[in-house]
C-alpha cells in the first residue's frame, strides 16, 4: 500500500536545525568533548517547590479525570494574577486568557483560526522558525520583516509593500527577541498598534522570554500598552521563566474574540492539560518569584562572562539585553553555516547558524547562555586558538 502524505504535510518547512543536531551527535559519537551552545533548552531544573506541588497534586484523584476543556479556572486566574503583579495589566480570566499546550502550539493555532490559503503573515527575519510552520499549515504566504542592527533589530513597517499589507491577516513579533537578544521599547509597541489598526492586522506577540532581561531593565509586555487588546494577543510560556520546558504550559492573553477562537479550535484538539500540571503552574505563578530573580541573575552573570571573554579575544558584539541568547556577528570570509561547521570541527563548540532563523540572519550565529560559566569561558578559549579574530 502506498501512503500519500497530504499537501499540508508536504508544505511543512524542513527543520533546519535537525542537521545541526545530527552533526553534533556525530561529533559526540566520535568521542569529542562537545560544548553545545546551539540549543535553546534550559539547563537548570524546575524549582523544587513547583516539583513538590506537582507530586502532591498528582496524588489527588480529582486530576485523574479529564480536566475542563478550556483549562482550570485556577490557572486562568493565576495567569491574570501574574500579569497584574508583573506588568499591572488587568485580564478577565475567563474571556481574556486561554490555556495552551505550551506557547508553540498557540503560535500554530492562531494561523489556523485567522488565515485562509494565500493570506499573508508578516514574520520577523530572523525569527523563531516555528512561526513558519503555522503559516505553512494553512497554506498562507510569509512576508519577511527584516530585523537589522541599524534599526535596533526592530522591523521597519515603512518598508512593507502595500500589496502585502492588503492581504496580511496577522504579524508575529517577539521581544525579548530570539535570536537577536534585544528588547523593544514602549514607543515601538505604540507604533505597532497604530500600524495594526490602520491595516487591520492582528498582532501576535511572542513573550516567551518575558521574565528574562538584564541591567535592571524590565521587558515591556505588549499587553501593558494602551490599545493592545484591541489589535492582538500575547503568548506566554512557563518554559523559560520557571525552567518548565518539558511541562508544556502556556497561555494566550488579550483580545476576547481571539481567545474565543483559540478555545474553539482547542476544543476539537484537546481536553486541556493534566490537572496536576495546571495546579503546579498555579503555584509557580502565584508563589514567591525569588527563584525567577535568581535565575535571571544566573543568566546575567553568564552573559557577562561570555561577552568579557569574547572581547578579550577580539570578537566584538553588543551584550544581550534579554532572553538567554547572544547574537554574534561572524568574521568575514564565511557564511554562518561554514563558520558554525568550523567551530564544531576545530573547536568542538556548537553554535546555531544565523541563516537558520531567516535570510537576514546570515552573517551571525546564535549562542545560548545555557551552560555553566566555566564551560562558556572554555568555549571562547577554544575558539581563540583558531585565530579568527584580532585583539
Report yes or no: 381 and 343 within 8 Å, Cβ to Cβ.
no
Q: Return d(Cα 3, Cα 203) in angstroms, integer.
A: 38
The shares of helix, strand and coil residues in the chain, as percent rounded to the nearest 5, are: 50, 15, 35
Q: How confident is the model at residue 20 (pLDDT cuts 50, 70, 90)?
A: confident
Question: Which of 123, 102, 99 minimizes the C-alpha distance to 111?
Answer: 123
| Domain covering 7-46+290-384 in this structure, CATH number | 3.90.1150.10
Average pLDDT over residues 332-350: 96
Q: What integer best gives the mean pLDDT of the chain? A: 96
Residues of the chain with CATH 3.90.1150.10: 7-46+290-384
Report yes or no: 286 and 82 within 8 Å, Cβ to Cβ.
yes
The dihedrals phi and psi of 233, each to the nearest 5 degrees, come to: -140, 165
Residues of the chain with CATH 3.40.640.10: 48-286
Q: How confident is the model at residue 213 (pLDDT cuts 50, 70, 90)?
A: very high
Q: Return d(Cα 346, Cα 37) in angstroms, integer.
A: 15
- Extract the C-alpha cell encoding 166: 492588503
- Topology (CATH level 3) of domain 48-286: 3.40.640
Bridge partners of residue 143, in order along the sequence: 122
Q: Which tens digit of pLDDT belongs to each residue from 31-89? A: 999 999 998 899 999 999 999 999 999 999 999 999 999 999 999 999 999 999 999 99
Place of cell 502524505: 5
pLDDT in the model for residue 16: 77
User: Is residue 272 pLDDT above 90, yes or no?
Assistant: no
pTM comes to 0.96
pLDDT in the model for residue 127: 96
pLDDT in the model for residue 18: 81
Instruction: Write the burial class of residue 82 (CB in 10 Å: 0-12 exposed, 13-18 middle, 19+ buried).
Output: buried
Q: Which tens digit of pLDDT belongs to each residue from 85-109? A: 999 999 999 999 999 998 999 999 9
Amino acid at each position: 500500500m502506498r501512503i500519500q502524505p497530504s499537501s499540508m504535510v508536504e508544505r511543512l518547512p524542513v527543520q533546519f536545525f535537525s542537521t545541526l543536531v545530527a552533526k553534533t551527535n556525530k561529533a559526540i559519537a566520535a568521542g569529542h568533548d562537545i560544548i553545545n551552545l546551539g540549543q535553546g533548552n534550559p539547563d537548570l531544573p524546575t524549582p523544587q517547590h513547583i516539583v513538590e506541588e506537582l507530586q502532591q497534586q498528582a496524588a489527588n484523584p480529582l486530576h485523574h479525570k479529564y480536566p475542563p476543556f478550556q483549562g482550570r479556572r485556577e490557572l486562568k486566574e493565576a495567569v491574570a494574577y501574574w500579569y497584574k503583579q508583573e506588568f499591572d495589566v488587568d485580564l478577565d480570566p475567563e474571556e481574556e486568557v486561554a490555556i495552551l499546550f505550551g506557547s508553540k502550539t498557540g503560535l500554530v493555532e492562531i494561523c489556523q483560526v485567522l488565515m485562509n490559503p494565500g493570506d499573508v503573515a508578516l514574520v520577523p527575519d530572523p525569527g523563531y522558525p516555528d512561526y513558519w510552520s503555522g503559516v505553512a499549515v494553512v497554506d498562507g504566504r510569509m512576508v519577511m520583516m527584516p530585523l537589522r542592527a541599524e534599526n535596533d533589530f526592530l522591523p521597519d513597517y515603512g518598508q512593507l509593500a502595500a500589496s502585502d499589507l492588503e492581504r496580511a491577516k496577522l504579524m508575529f513579533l517577539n521581544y525579548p527577541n530570539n535570536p537577536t537578544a534585544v528588547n523593544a521599547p514602549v514607543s515601538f509597541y505604540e507604533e505597532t498598534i497604530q500600524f495594526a489598526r490602520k491595516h487591520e492586522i492582528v498582532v501576535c506577540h511572542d513573550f516567551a522570554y518575558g521574565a528574562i532581561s538584564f541591567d535592571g531593565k524590565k521587558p515591556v509586555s505588549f499587553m501593558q500598552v494602551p490599545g493592545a487588546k484591541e489589535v492582538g494577543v500575547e503568548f506566554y510560556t512557563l518554559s523559560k521563566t520557571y525552567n518548565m520546558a518539558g511541562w508544556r504550559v502556556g497561555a494566550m492573553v488579550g483580545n476576547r474574540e481571539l481567545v474565543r477562537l483559540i478555545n474553539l479550535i482547542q476544543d476539537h484538539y484537546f481536553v486541556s492539560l493534566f490537572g496536576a500540571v495546571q495546579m503546579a503552574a498555579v503555584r509557580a505563578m502565584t508563589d514567591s518569584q525569588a527563584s525567577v530573580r535568581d535565575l535571571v541573575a544566573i543568566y546575567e552573570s553568564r552573559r557577562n562572562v561570555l561577552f568579557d571573554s569574547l572581547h578579550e579575544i577580539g570578537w566584538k558584539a553588543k551584550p544581550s539585553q534579554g532572553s538567554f541568547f547572544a547574537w554574534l556577528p561572524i568574521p568575514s570570509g564565511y557564511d554562518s553555516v561554514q563558520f558554525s561547521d568550523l567551530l564544531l570541527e576545530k573547536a568542538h563548540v556548537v553554535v546555531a547558524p544565523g541563516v537558520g532563523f531567516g535570510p537576514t540572519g546570515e552573517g551571525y550565529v546564535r549562542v545560548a547562555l545555557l551552560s555553566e560559566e566555566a564551560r562558556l569561558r572554555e568555549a571562547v578559549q577554544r575558539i581563540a586558538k583558531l585565530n579568527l579574530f584580532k585583539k
